[in-house]
Amino acid sequence: MARSFGANGTVVLAIIFFGCLFAFSTAKEEATKLGTVIGIDLGTTYSCVGVYKNGHVEIIANDQGNRITPSWVGFTDNERLIGEAAKNQAAVNPERTVFDVKRLIGRKFEDKEVQKDRKLVPYQIVNKDGKPYIQVKIKDGETKVFSPEEVSAMILIKMKETAEAYLGKKIKDAVVTVPAYFNDAQRQATKDAGVIAGLNVARIIN
Protein backbone atom coordinates (compact mmCIF):
# COMPACT_ATOMS: atom_id res chain seq x y z
CA MET A 1 0.00 0.00 0.00
CA ALA A 2 1.36 3.42 -0.93
CA ARG A 3 2.07 5.81 1.88
CA SER A 4 0.83 9.40 1.83
CA PHE A 5 1.51 12.65 3.70
CA GLY A 6 -1.83 12.75 5.49
CA ALA A 7 -2.33 15.29 8.27
CA ASN A 8 1.39 15.57 8.89
CA GLY A 9 2.15 16.61 5.32
CA THR A 10 3.65 19.96 6.27
CA VAL A 11 6.02 18.34 8.76
CA VAL A 12 7.09 15.72 6.22
CA LEU A 13 7.77 18.38 3.59
CA ALA A 14 9.82 20.34 6.09
CA ILE A 15 11.92 17.25 6.83
CA ILE A 16 12.44 16.63 3.11
CA PHE A 17 13.59 20.18 2.49
CA PHE A 18 15.89 20.02 5.53
CA GLY A 19 17.49 16.92 4.04
CA CYS A 20 17.88 18.69 0.72
CA LEU A 21 19.49 21.74 2.28
CA PHE A 22 21.89 19.58 4.26
CA ALA A 23 22.94 17.78 1.09
CA PHE A 24 23.42 21.05 -0.72
CA SER A 25 25.55 22.61 2.01
CA THR A 26 27.86 19.62 1.73
CA ALA A 27 27.82 19.91 -2.06
CA LYS A 28 29.07 23.46 -1.63
CA GLU A 29 32.09 22.17 0.30
CA GLU A 30 32.87 19.53 -2.33
CA ALA A 31 32.46 22.06 -5.15
CA THR A 32 35.61 23.87 -4.02
CA LYS A 33 37.53 20.71 -4.95
CA LEU A 34 35.55 19.25 -7.84
CA GLY A 35 33.73 22.12 -9.55
CA THR A 36 29.95 21.89 -9.91
CA VAL A 37 28.58 19.35 -7.42
CA ILE A 38 24.88 18.67 -6.99
CA GLY A 39 23.27 17.62 -3.72
CA ILE A 40 20.66 14.88 -3.84
CA ASP A 41 18.34 13.86 -1.04
CA LEU A 42 17.32 10.36 -2.13
CA GLY A 43 14.26 9.92 0.03
CA THR A 44 12.04 6.94 0.69
CA THR A 45 8.94 8.81 -0.45
CA TYR A 46 10.27 11.91 -2.21
CA SER A 47 13.63 13.03 -3.59
CA CYS A 48 15.05 16.42 -4.47
CA VAL A 49 18.15 17.93 -6.03
CA GLY A 50 19.89 21.25 -5.75
CA VAL A 51 23.10 23.14 -6.29
CA TYR A 52 25.06 25.93 -4.65
CA LYS A 53 24.96 28.75 -7.18
CA ASN A 54 25.36 32.54 -7.12
CA GLY A 55 26.14 32.55 -3.42
CA HIS A 56 23.17 30.53 -2.23
CA VAL A 57 21.56 27.10 -2.35
CA GLU A 58 18.97 26.56 -5.06
CA ILE A 59 16.54 23.64 -4.90
CA ILE A 60 15.83 22.78 -8.52
CA ALA A 61 12.29 22.28 -9.80
CA ASN A 62 11.62 19.24 -11.98
CA ASP A 63 9.90 19.22 -15.37
CA GLN A 64 6.53 19.43 -13.58
CA GLY A 65 7.59 22.59 -11.75
CA ASN A 66 7.87 20.82 -8.40
CA ARG A 67 10.92 20.94 -6.14
CA ILE A 68 10.33 17.44 -4.81
CA THR A 69 9.89 14.35 -6.97
CA PRO A 70 8.11 11.17 -5.86
CA SER A 71 10.62 8.32 -5.49
CA TRP A 72 8.46 6.10 -7.68
CA VAL A 73 9.29 4.10 -10.81
CA GLY A 74 6.61 2.67 -13.09
CA PHE A 75 6.83 0.27 -16.01
CA THR A 76 4.33 0.11 -18.86
CA ASP A 77 4.27 -1.76 -22.16
CA ASN A 78 5.87 1.22 -23.85
CA GLU A 79 8.03 3.11 -21.37
CA ARG A 80 9.56 3.55 -17.94
CA LEU A 81 8.10 6.33 -15.82
CA ILE A 82 9.79 8.21 -12.99
CA GLY A 83 8.35 10.53 -10.35
CA GLU A 84 4.90 12.08 -10.74
CA ALA A 85 4.21 10.15 -13.95
CA ALA A 86 4.87 6.85 -12.18
CA LYS A 87 2.85 7.71 -9.09
CA ASN A 88 -0.12 9.03 -11.08
CA GLN A 89 -0.63 5.71 -12.89
CA ALA A 90 -0.04 3.48 -9.86
CA ALA A 91 -3.74 2.86 -9.20
CA VAL A 92 -4.23 1.25 -12.61
CA ASN A 93 -0.80 -0.40 -12.76
CA PRO A 94 0.05 -1.38 -9.16
CA GLU A 95 2.11 -4.51 -9.81
CA ARG A 96 4.46 -2.62 -12.10
CA THR A 97 4.89 0.51 -9.99
CA VAL A 98 7.77 0.49 -7.51
CA PHE A 99 8.05 2.74 -4.45
CA ASP A 100 9.75 2.64 -1.03
CA VAL A 101 12.75 0.90 -2.62
CA LYS A 102 15.03 2.69 -0.18
CA ARG A 103 13.69 0.34 2.48
CA LEU A 104 15.22 -2.58 0.57
CA ILE A 105 18.60 -1.19 -0.42
CA GLY A 106 21.60 -2.85 1.19
CA ARG A 107 19.48 -5.44 3.01
CA LYS A 108 19.33 -9.24 2.84
CA PHE A 109 16.20 -10.94 1.51
CA GLU A 110 15.64 -12.68 4.85
CA ASP A 111 15.76 -9.39 6.78
CA LYS A 112 12.62 -9.00 8.91
CA GLU A 113 11.94 -5.54 7.47
CA VAL A 114 12.12 -6.90 3.92
CA GLN A 115 9.74 -9.73 4.75
CA LYS A 116 7.31 -7.27 6.32
CA ASP A 117 7.46 -4.98 3.30
CA ARG A 118 6.78 -7.90 0.95
CA LYS A 119 3.32 -8.10 2.48
CA LEU A 120 2.64 -4.38 2.13
CA VAL A 121 3.62 -3.55 -1.44
CA PRO A 122 1.72 -4.59 -4.58
CA TYR A 123 4.84 -5.38 -6.61
CA GLN A 124 6.86 -8.56 -6.26
CA ILE A 125 10.01 -8.75 -4.13
CA VAL A 126 11.95 -11.92 -4.93
CA ASN A 127 15.10 -13.61 -3.66
CA LYS A 128 18.17 -13.42 -5.89
CA ASP A 129 21.47 -14.53 -4.40
CA GLY A 130 20.15 -13.80 -0.92
CA LYS A 131 19.19 -10.22 -1.75
CA PRO A 132 15.78 -8.62 -2.38
CA TYR A 133 15.11 -7.88 -6.03
CA ILE A 134 12.04 -6.29 -7.61
CA GLN A 135 10.34 -8.40 -10.27
CA VAL A 136 8.12 -6.64 -12.79
CA LYS A 137 6.67 -7.22 -16.22
CA ILE A 138 7.99 -4.85 -18.85
CA LYS A 139 6.99 -4.59 -22.50
CA ASP A 140 5.56 -7.57 -24.39
CA GLY A 141 4.98 -9.46 -21.15
CA GLU A 142 8.69 -9.91 -20.51
CA THR A 143 9.55 -10.32 -16.83
CA LYS A 144 12.66 -8.67 -15.47
CA VAL A 145 14.25 -8.33 -12.05
CA PHE A 146 15.95 -5.18 -10.80
CA SER A 147 18.11 -4.72 -7.73
CA PRO A 148 17.18 -1.93 -5.30
CA GLU A 149 20.36 -0.19 -6.45
CA GLU A 150 19.19 -0.26 -10.07
CA VAL A 151 15.78 1.18 -9.20
CA SER A 152 17.40 3.84 -7.01
CA ALA A 153 19.71 4.66 -9.91
CA MET A 154 16.67 5.35 -12.10
CA ILE A 155 15.57 7.98 -9.58
CA LEU A 156 19.08 9.39 -9.32
CA ILE A 157 19.24 9.69 -13.11
CA LYS A 158 16.02 11.71 -12.98
CA MET A 159 17.58 14.01 -10.36
CA LYS A 160 20.75 14.29 -12.43
CA GLU A 161 18.80 15.16 -15.58
CA THR A 162 16.75 17.75 -13.66
CA ALA A 163 19.96 19.45 -12.53
CA GLU A 164 21.52 19.27 -15.99
CA ALA A 165 18.46 20.86 -17.61
CA TYR A 166 18.62 23.70 -15.09
CA LEU A 167 22.38 24.25 -15.25
CA GLY A 168 22.70 23.72 -18.99
CA LYS A 169 25.62 21.33 -18.70
CA LYS A 170 26.50 17.74 -17.89
CA ILE A 171 26.96 16.82 -14.23
CA LYS A 172 29.04 13.96 -12.88
CA ASP A 173 29.71 14.80 -9.22
CA ALA A 174 27.18 14.60 -6.39
CA VAL A 175 26.74 14.19 -2.67
CA VAL A 176 23.84 12.01 -1.57
CA THR A 177 22.09 11.94 1.80
CA VAL A 178 21.12 8.76 3.63
CA PRO A 179 19.34 8.25 6.97
CA ALA A 180 21.50 8.20 10.10
CA TYR A 181 20.43 4.60 10.78
CA PHE A 182 21.91 3.31 7.51
CA ASN A 183 24.68 0.76 8.09
CA ASP A 184 27.81 0.38 5.97
CA ALA A 185 26.13 -2.04 3.54
CA GLN A 186 23.24 0.37 2.95
CA ARG A 187 25.59 3.31 2.50
CA GLN A 188 27.71 1.37 0.01
CA ALA A 189 24.62 0.20 -1.87
CA THR A 190 23.50 3.83 -2.19
CA LYS A 191 26.92 4.74 -3.55
CA ASP A 192 26.67 1.84 -6.00
CA ALA A 193 23.32 3.23 -7.17
CA GLY A 194 25.09 6.51 -7.89
CA VAL A 195 27.70 4.74 -10.00
CA ILE A 196 24.96 2.98 -11.99
CA ALA A 197 23.40 6.41 -12.55
CA GLY A 198 26.68 7.72 -13.97
CA LEU A 199 27.54 9.81 -10.94
CA ASN A 200 30.73 10.16 -8.97
CA VAL A 201 29.36 10.17 -5.44
CA ALA A 202 31.87 12.41 -3.72
CA ARG A 203 30.30 11.81 -0.34
CA ILE A 204 27.50 9.88 1.34
CA ILE A 205 26.21 11.90 4.29
CA ASN A 206 23.77 11.23 7.15
* 3-class secondary structure, 138: coil
Break the chain down into helix, strand, coil percent, rounded to 5: 40, 25, 30
* CA dist., res. 161 & res. 108, Å (int): 31
Higher local confidence (pLDDT), 9 or 190: 190
In this model, does residue 101 exceed pLDDT 90? Answer: yes
Q: How confident is the model at residue 46 (pLDDT cuts 50, 70, 90)?
A: very high
* 3-class secondary structure, 128: strand
Is residue 36 within 8 Å of 171, Cβ to Cβ?
Answer: yes
Query: Would you state the pLDDT for residue 33?
Result: 56
Give all domains of the chain, ordered by start, each with its CATH number.
6-67+150-205 (3.30.420.40)
Higher local confidence (pLDDT), 155 or 33: 155
Number of Cβ within 10 Å of residue 80's Cβ equals: 15
- Rounded (10°) angle between helices 148-167 and 184-196: 50
* CA dist., res. 14 & res. 138, Å (int): 35
Is residue 101 within 8 Å of 136, Cβ to Cβ?
Answer: no
In this predicted model, what pLDDT tens digit does every residue of 49-100 receive, in sequence order? Answer: 998 777 777 889 999 999 999 999 999 998 999 999 999 999 999 999 999 9
In this predicted model, what pLDDT tens digit does every residue of 141-167 receive, in sequence order? Answer: 789 999 999 999 999 999 999 999 999
% of the chain with per-residue pLDDT over 70: 83
